[in-house]
Structure 1
């Protein structure tokens, strides 16, 4: 791809940034480009955010997101990939979800049209209103669709070098979430008096929501299909169930024929542990001889201490030793979710306390190696960044947060700086735990064994 073409695209968006009417920019775009690939869109946004001499900021790109997406409508080349039509392939699932979400929008449209001629006192009104609420709850499953995109698609894009598009799109996702919540609050108290307010809030949400569907299918998926390998798609297909699906669930998990072996996480290569040094047979351990005075005289006791040789593949700690297998089992059996972020702000480890779909904070292997900034929505990053810096430079040693979930679980989160014996910062330990069972303890003390059922 020629840099000149990328620069031309950048210049067009610069004009938008400087106030040129969209119609004029559209004409210029049509003049210079017969078609534009999704990869060029990604490179353009990367340039826009990354150039130090460029006055366009991340916020500008966010504001222009709908405008430049509209420019690309109908002008984006489709990437040929036959496998994406297979049941269970992440692209097929993603598009099927969008189709189901669009259908829900149409049902909401029809209900609202019917309600325009109704009064709250009409006999059919309660049933129609209940139907509207049901469809609204169904539509709310788009949040699952977005989360799977943010937690599985975005890490793969970042690994391929596309860090700007996920950042822009995640911010738009959060805007859409907020618009949905605002409209939902009006819906919960819907009456003839505030029907117009709901219609207006819904229309705003609907426009942004459909614009996002276009961006996903015409831009995002094309970037992914150009950048991801078959193994990448297989990883996403395997991990998708941890986050769930919106409205529809795939009938099967896609397993590509190109991968002959079963889909398993490949273990990282490790250097075989060195064998402990064993003293030669002729050099026996030093004997210990102790004289013990008793009323029957002196008794001498001597023995040779048993050499303490930890087995091979063992990690030696100041407080003992554990095998690599024991360390993994111990971490996975802790009654809380553990995440470690390295000193370089990389998501390095999480334990497998339970399957991802049941975790309080869902983690999958696709997130490993991801910069921690990209693991959070852009709107929350300033707070997260401040916490990381406070833990790094010692202004804080730890921080705790808590909140109650709709499913009744009470989540308690702790972030703790990890330092070595010299005080050097090594990273952050995050622990997550449901403390609702502790809040429900029936008595102030329990010291007996529980009955076995």
Structure 2
């Protein structure tokens, strides 16, 4: 199968430009889909599984679009991708989950049709991206938008596992660059907490090493904070700061999110919880209404935790087991 070269207006962009990266990544995805199509499961099942596992890296691309590109488009007044295209992402994710189940159950006969459907949908997504989403984004977004996007793109990652960022200085960490680009912290050496005193570095470190994803949405329904842990359950990047929370969730979940906010603001509820299966892991998600001393609503705290291994705990463990 032959694919055209990158458009001239793309090859003219810097190598590190997010839009050029998206186009080059699409060429990689197209080759990956050809490889998937040429690796039927009934001939070499393990090879098929290996290629499919790589195709599943498409989640990083969709996460970049949802958490990086879409927020900047919203800031420039285009909300369509956050609503329509995100739903299509979820449709492809559903197909990937179906194939994963068929692989686990060795349903060889069913795999061929599912793979055909996957390839068809992913090609359609590429077509919409290259002919509508990306050209419009190039017209709408400003150079500072693309520059700010680079850091978050690197943090989430790419489908091509060998790709490396080409712009950020090696001596500066992702967290340092994101902090500089997104938020200017006040010059306060110590903060008096309800219990004890911490400085900003200690607060950041505590939240970074907390084994739970934390996101805070303020009373105006805008994302104000998320913790930057090494092993986040759900991807986040600096582009989400200041974004209206209803655009931070898949369209099929928006009504539930809005209902939670409504109940919290009205004071009728203070907590909501869910648990889901995500990438073979059990994820516990909780929302807490945040109120001040006068019980006035100040926002909502979202906490997500992988509890898969916690669920397996039995009996007691009272001794240190480092040396065993």
Which TM bucket (shorter chain)? 0.7 to 0.9
Work out which of the residue numbers 145, 150, 155 in structure 2 matches 1:242.
Answer: 155
Alignment of 1:119-138 (within 5 A): 127-138=43-54
Contact map agreement 1:398 1:415 (CA 8 A) in 2: yes
**Distance apart, 1:158 and its partner CA:** 1.0
Contact map agreement 2:190 2:197 (CA 8 A) in 1: yes
2:66 is aligned to: 150
Distance 2:321 2:53 in 1: 41
Structure 1: 4+ residue segments shifted above 6 A: 448-453
Rate the CA distance shift 1:322–1:254 in 2: closer, same or farther, 3 A: closer
1:388 is aligned to: 261
**Distance apart, 1:375 and its partner CA:** 0.6
Contact map agreement 2:11 2:20 (CA 8 A) in 1: no
**Distance apart, 1:427 and its partner CA:** 0.6
1:406-436, Cα deviation, whole Å (9 max, x unpaired): 466x533321101112221111012233445
Work out which of the residue numbers 91, 106, 112 in structure 2 matches 1:175.
Answer: 91
Q: What is the number of residues matched between the two proteins?
A: 310
Rate the CA distance shift 1:269–1:143 in 2: closer, same or farther, 3 A: closer
| Structure 2: gaps of 5 or more residues | 1-6, 170-175
**Distance apart, 1:330 and its partner CA:** 4.3
Rate the CA distance shift 1:200–1:451 in 2: closer, same or farther, 3 A: closer
TM-score by length of 1: 0.59
User: Is residue 300 of structure 2 the alignment partner of residue 428 of structure 1?
Assistant: yes
**Distance apart, 1:364 and its partner CA:** 1.7
Contact map agreement 1:417 1:428 (CA 8 A) in 2: yes
Considering only CA atoms, is the larger Rg found in Structure 1 or Structure 2?
Answer: 1
1:57-80, Cα deviation, whole Å (9 max, x unpaired): xxxxxxxxxxxxxxxxxxxxx783
Distance 1:440 1:204 in 2: 36
Higher-RCO chain (CA-CA 8 Å, sequence separation at least 6): 2
2:34 is aligned to: 106
Work out which of the residue numbers 123, 126, 129 in structure 2 matches 1:213.
Answer: 126
Distance 1:234 1:263 in 2: 11
TM-score by length of 2: 0.79
Alignment of 1:363-382 (within 5 A): 363-382=236-255
Distance 1:316 1:207 in 2: 57
